[in-house]
Amino acid sequence: MASLICFERRALDILGLSSDEWTAIELSLRVSIVAMLVSLPFGIGAAYLLARGRFWGKSILNGFIHLPLILPPVVTGFILLILFGRKGPIGALFEQYLGLVFSFRWTGAALACGVMGFPLMVRSIRLSIEAVDRKPVWTFMTVTLPLILTGIIAGMILSFAKAMGEFGATVTFVSNIPGETQTLSSAIYTFTQVPGGDAGAMRLTIVAIIISMAALLASEFLAYLAGRRVDLE
């Protein structure tokens, strides 16, 4: 991940980005990657449960997972602040036993982005699982997982893209602190609120388009490789 960020930094230097602008970009990449990777095992588990499980309350669970898609992002951010803030029931436990603080930290931005992108990841993986013939649970790792690899990749890219563009939930939960929680989206918003900030907003907008296109191209390439691997097997 560090080498990827260094490569993108050299590539983006040609845009004449300031150190503060680069900090926002680097933070967005870190937040998005962490949100995507931490969400992945939970996303696979939730998708498998929804695709194969038969239990009471399945519809309620499905609705709960997809709730961030229909709730206003500021509502999701406020709920996260109540639950994962320093005095929140979950946040206090994390701080006490793990020393992990979410509120007004980049870790909180990653949490907010992960929550917002989670429904997209689960939906993509679930559709792939439902397209595969039912297999016993013990064959999941050796049979089902390789067959749904394309769906997993698609879900990861959707989660990453959602995290890169997230604004409402993040700014509500962790505010807009330069160097700590100011992501690419919040930096663009800040530029639009100050006189003469159009140039900075435009530079970061171009960066956002470049990163999004790179993510989509990477998704297509990885999906192609996954498809070839399945065909060969």
Is residue 75 assigned to a domain? yes
CATH number at residue 44: 1.10.3720.10
pLDDT over threshold 80, residue 193: yes
pTM of the predicted model as reported, rounded to 2 decimal places: 0.81
Residue 116 in contact with residue 74, Cβ under 8 Å? no
Cα–Cα distances (Å) from 41 to 7, 16, 69, 130, 155, in that order, read 28, 38, 20, 18, 12
Tens-digit pLDDT profile for residues 100-110 = 999 889 999 99
* Mean of all residue pLDDT scores within the chain: 83
The pLDDT confidence band at residue 65, using thresholds 50, 70 and 90, is very high
- The pair of structure tokens assigned to 154 is 């698609």
Q: Which of 107-111, 136-140, 171-175 has the lowest mean pLDDT?
A: 136-140
Is residue 216 in some structural domain?
yes
> Which class for 213: exposed (0-12), middle (13-18), buried (19 or more C-beta within 10 A)?
exposed
In a domain, 14, yes or no: no
In a domain, 143, yes or no: yes
